[in-house]
Amino acid sequence: VSTAPSTTTVVINNDVDKDVPPSPTQTSAREIDLGVKEVKVLSKGDAQNGPLYRVSIMNKGPMNLDKPTRVAVISINDGKPSTETPRMIETVKSLNVGETVELDMRLPVSANTFPMLLVAVETPESFKDANEQDNVAQGEVAQLPLAMAAVK
């Protein structure tokens, strides 16, 4: 999966808890550096199930992420998602500096016919991302590595 060009805009349309307004001391942007570290295929889709992907998101710092943020996996045909393209959205509640979180995300069966995948991690309100280039990655599904089963 390669990093997408900076012209790609992904809108994630699920609400995250916004019940608590920021305090006056939290209104200035705090800097983090979230990035899509890796995407692997856990299982390819079939007639009953859509494809299952393991998405790794890393916080490269300099601050801990202490607010929820969303990660989206979107199937695409031509490099641009639409409202009809299959997608899955998960929430990461927090992520400390240097930590990586792995999310297993299954797309619907309708995703089986899409040749491309786009993965995006948002920057929550009150945060500034030091490198937004690595917040979005896209590539051909056929080129993604298969996750190896753990040997017992």
Q: Model confidence over 25-55: pLDDT tens digits?
A: 444 679 999 999 999 999 999 999 999 999 9
d(CA 98, CA 18): 26
Say what the pTM is: 0.77
Average pLDDT, the chain: 83
Q: Give Cβ neighbours of residue 9 (< 8 Å, ≥ 6 apart).
A: none
Indicate the pLDDT class of residue 110, thresholds 50, 70 and 90: very high
For the CA atoms of 71, 73, 79, 80, the dihedral, rounded to the nearest 10 degrees, stands at -70
Cβ pair 51, 111 in contact under 8 A:
yes
β-bridge pairing 127-129 and 30-32: parallel
When pLDDT is averaged across residues 100-123 and rounded to a whole number, the result is 95
pLDDT at res. 16: 47
What is the spatial distance between Cα 30 and Cα 26, in angstroms, rounded to a whole number? Answer: 8
Report the pLDDT value the prediction gives residue 83, as an integer from 0 to 100. Answer: 84
